[in-house]
């Protein structure tokens, strides 16, 4: 594996993730009391995008098996008709691996470590690795797009990448 095909995991922040979507977390979010002050609403955290014919939002639960690190990344996918959000239902870290689009194929991937309490919403048509739990089986709420048409495009790399955790990344 050449060094150019090694991807170092980096912390997930709103700013770093902005080209790919939004981070779903309470930290830094607009919030206000509701229900007579009994509840605090952390409001409008992600941009759900629904395209194509007969589009409708889907709310699902994914029970994901953990991946080991270092992780060999052979493939990324994207959903041309809608965004896709994953919010962990446990306080477990997971990886969000995404890549820019470069003329219809993925550019250099980036691997973000979502800390406990962080979820992600990938913008429509964003290249990404499939859901990547770490350490143990974990449940996630999925919010994405249903409707007519094909909402999945896959890309298999000619040479895989290796996703590694440097010393500062603990999971």
Ligand X SMILES: NC(=O)N[C@@H](O)C(=O)O
Residue 142, classed as helix, strand or coil, is strand
Q: Which is nearer to ligand X, 42 or 155 (CB)?
A: 155
Instruction: Cite the beta strand spans of the chain per DSSP E.
Output: 6-8, 10-11, 21-24, 31-34, 39-42, 56-64, 71-78, 84-88, 94-99, 101-102, 105-106, 110-114, 119-122, 127-128, 132-133, 138-146, 153-164
Q: Which is nearer to ligand X, 110 or 128 (CB)?
A: 128
Q: Which is nearer to ligand X, 18 or 130 (CB)?
A: 130
Q: How far is the CB of 93 from ligand X (least distance, A)?
A: 16
Q: Under the criterion CB under 6 A, does residue 130 sit at the interface with ligand X? A: yes
User: Contact 89/139 with Cβ under 8 angstroms?
Assistant: yes
Residue 28, classed as helix, strand or coil, is coil
Binding mask 90-119 for Ni ion (x = CB under 5 A): ------------------------------
Q: Which is nearer to ligand X, 62 or 165 (CB)?
A: 62
Q: Under the criterion CB under 6 A, does residue 18 sit at the interface with ligand X? A: no
Q: Under the criterion CB under 6 A, does residue 142 sit at the interface with ligand X? A: yes
Site residues (vs Ni ion, CB under 5 A): 84
Site residues (vs ligand X, CB under 6 A): 62, 84, 128, 130-131, 142
């Amino acid at each position: 594996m050449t060094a150019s095909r090694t991807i170092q995991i980096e912390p997930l922040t709103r700013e770093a993730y902005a080209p790919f979507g939004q981070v779903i977390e309470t930290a830094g979010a607009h919030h206000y009391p509701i229900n007579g002050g009994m509840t605090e609403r952390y409001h409008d955290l992600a941009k759900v995008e629904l395209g194509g014919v007969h589009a409708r939002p889907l709310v699902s639960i994914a029970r994901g098996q953990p991946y080991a690190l270092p992780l060999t990344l052979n493939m990324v996918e994207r959903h041309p008709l809608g965004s896709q959000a994953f919010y962990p239902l446990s306080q477990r870290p997971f990886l969000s691996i995404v890549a820019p689009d470069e003329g219809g194929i993925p550019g250099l991937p980036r691997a973000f470590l979502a800390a406990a309490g962080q979820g992600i919403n990938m913008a429509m048509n964003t290249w990404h690795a499939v859901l990547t739990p770490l350490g143990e089986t974990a449940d996630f709420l999925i919010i994405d797009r249903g409707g007519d048409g094909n909402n999945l495009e896959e890309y298999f790399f000619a040479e895989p990448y290796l996703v590694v955790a440097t010393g500062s990344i603990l999971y």
